[in-house]
C-alpha cells in the first residue's frame, strides 16, 4: 500500500514534512497547497507533486492523508474539513489557541471517526525516545521527578509573538507534552512564574520571555520546566528523569563534536542553532509514524487529546501567573 499525502502550507515546516514523506517508504507526496502560489509551485516541483486547492484535495480520491502546516488560526477549520472528507490528518500543534475551539474540533474528529495525529515532534527524537525506553525497561524504577530545560537561542520578532498565544501556548506547550510523556501520570496542578528579562517588546505585548513551571500529579510526582527565549550558546533542550532506582538524562546535541584545548581552556562548539537542525530526525520519524499508523490502521500518537491536554496545562500556567498560586487542572 502507498499512502498518498498532501501538504497544506509550503512554508518552512511544510518543506521539512515534504522531505520526510519522500524519505518514508510507502508514502508519496501528491499535492501541495499554499496561499503563495510560488511557494506551492516550488515545493510541488521539487517533489514531483501537483499544486492544488484545499477543496480539491478534500475531494481528491488519490489523497489519503493531509499534513497541516498552515498558520495556527486555520488548524481547527482544516482539521474539521478533512475529518469530514475522510482523510487521515497530521496537524502541527496547536489545534487552536482556544480550549473551547479545540474541544469542538476534537468532537467533530470523534464524530467522523477520523485519524488525527498532533505534531509534538520531540516525542520522536531518538534521544528522548531512549529516555522513555529506559523508563519502560525499568532501569530507573518508578518515576518521581522530571526536570526539563528548554531554551530558545533567541526571541522571535514581535509579529510572531502577537499571534503565538504567548510563551506557555507557543513554547512551553512542547515541554508540557514532554512532561506528560515522561511522568506517566496526568498532571493535576500547575504553578508558573514568568517575567520579561530578554526583550521588553515582548512585555509590551503582554507576553513573557522567561518562565519556570512546576507540575504535580495525584501521587506526588513533580516536574520542573525552565524556559527562556534566550540561549546564546544554541538551542538548549535537556530532560532528566529521576526514579526510585536511578535517573536518566538526555544530553544536549551539537552539530560537531570536537574540542579545542588551549591556554584558555577546553572549548566545544555551540549547540544546534534551532529546532530545524536539532530535531531533523524527529521530524522524519513522526511522519514515518503517521504513515505507519495509517498503513496499519492503528491510532497515531500523540493524539488530538494529547494536544488538548497540553493546551490545558498552558492555560493553567497563565492562570497561575495571574493569581500567583497553584492552579488545579480541573479548574480549567
**Residue 90 or 235 with smaller CB distance to a second copy:** 235
Q: What angle do CA 284, 296, 108 make, to 5 degrees?
A: 85
Q: Is 223 helix (H, G, I), strand (E, B) or coil?
A: strand
**How near is the Cβ of 108 to a second copy at its closest, in Å?**
37
Least Å distance, CB 286 to a second copy, is 17
The least CB distance from residue 87 to a second copy, in Å, is 27
Beta carbon nearer to a second copy, 27 or 308:
27
Taking the complex as a whole, the smallest distance from the CB of residue 320 to a second copy amounts, in Å, to: 9
φ/ψ (deg, to 5) at 95: -60, -45
Separation between Cα atoms, residue 103 and residue 84, nearest integer Å: 16
Residues contributing to the site for a second copy (CB under 8 A): 126-127, 129-131, 134, 139-140, 144-145, 147, 149, 151, 189, 191, 193, 195-198, 210-212, 214, 216, 219-222, 224, 226, 228, 230-233, 242, 244-251, 253, 255-270, 324-326
CA distance 44 to 112: 29
Tell me whether residue 129 or residue 164 sits nearer to a second copy (CB atom): 129
- By C-beta, is 112 or 211 nearer to a second copy? 211
Closest C-alpha among 109, 73, 71, 70 to residue 88: 109
Q: Which residues pair with 89 in a beta bridge?
A: 66, 116
Are 249 and 131 in contact, with CB atoms under 8 Å apart?
A: yes
Per the CB < 8 A criterion, the answer to whether 91 and 73 are in contact is: no
- Judged by CB, which is closer to a second copy: 5, or 213? 213
Q: How far is the CB of 60 from a second copy (least distance, A)?
A: 24
Amino acid at each position: 500500500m502507498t499512502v498518498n499525502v498532501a501538504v497544506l502550507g509550503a512554508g518552512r515546516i511544510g518543506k521539512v514534512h515534504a522531505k520526510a514523506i519522500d524519505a518514508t517508504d510507502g508514502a508519496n507526496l501528491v499535492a501541495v497547497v499554499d496561499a503563495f502560489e510560488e511557494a506551492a509551485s516550488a515545493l510541488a516541483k521539487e517533489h514531483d507533486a501537483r499544486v492544488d486547492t484545499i477543496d480539491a484535495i478534500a475531494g481528491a480520491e488519490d489523497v489519503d492523508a493531509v499534513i497541516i502546516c498552515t498558520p495556527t488560526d486555520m488548524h481547527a477549520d482544516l482539521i474539521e474539513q478533512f475529518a469530514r472528507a475522510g482523510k487521515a490528518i497530521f496537524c502541527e500543534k496547536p489545534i487552536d489557541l482556544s480550549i473551547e475551539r479545540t474541544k469542538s474540533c476534537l468532537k467533530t474528529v470523534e464524530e467522523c471517526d477520523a485519524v488525527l495525529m498532533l505534531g509534538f515532534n520531540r516525542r520522536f527524537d531518538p534521544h528522548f525516545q531512549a529516555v522513555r525506553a529506559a523508563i519502560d525497561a525499568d532501569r530507573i524504577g518508578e518515576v518521581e521527578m522530571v526536570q526539563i530545560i528548554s531554551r530558545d537561542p533567541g526571541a522571535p520578532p514581535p509579529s510572531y509573538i502577537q499571534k503565538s498565544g504567548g510563551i506557555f501556548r507557543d513554547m512551553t506547550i512542547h515541554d508540557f507534552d514532554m512532561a506528560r510523556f515522561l511522568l506517566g501520570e496526568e498532571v493535576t496542578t500547575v504553578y508558573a512564574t514568568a517575567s520579561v528579562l530578554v526583550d521588553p517588546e515582548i512585555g509590551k505585548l503582554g507576553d513573557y520571555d522567561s518562565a519556570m513551571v512546576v507540575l504535580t500529579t495525584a501521587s506526588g510526582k513533580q516536574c520542573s520546566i525552565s524556559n527562556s527565549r534566550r540561549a546564546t550558546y544554541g538551542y538548549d533542550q535537556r530532560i532528566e528523569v529521576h526514579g526510585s532506582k536511578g535517573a536518566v538524562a538526555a544530553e544536549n546535541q551539537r552539530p560537531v563534536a570536537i574540542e579545542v584545548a588551549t591556554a584558555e581552556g577546553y572549548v566545544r562548539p555551540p549547540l544546534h542553532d534551532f529546532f530545524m537542525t536539532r530535531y531533523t530526525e524527529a521530524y522524519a520519524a513522526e511522519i514515518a509514524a503517521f504513515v505507519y499508523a495509517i498503513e496499519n490502521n492503528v491510532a497515531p500518537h500523540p493524539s488530538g487529546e494529547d494536544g488538548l491536554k497540553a493546551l490545558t496545562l498552558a492555560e493553567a500556567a497563565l492562570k497561575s501567573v495571574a493569581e500567583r498560586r497553584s492552579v488545579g487542572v480541573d479548574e480549567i
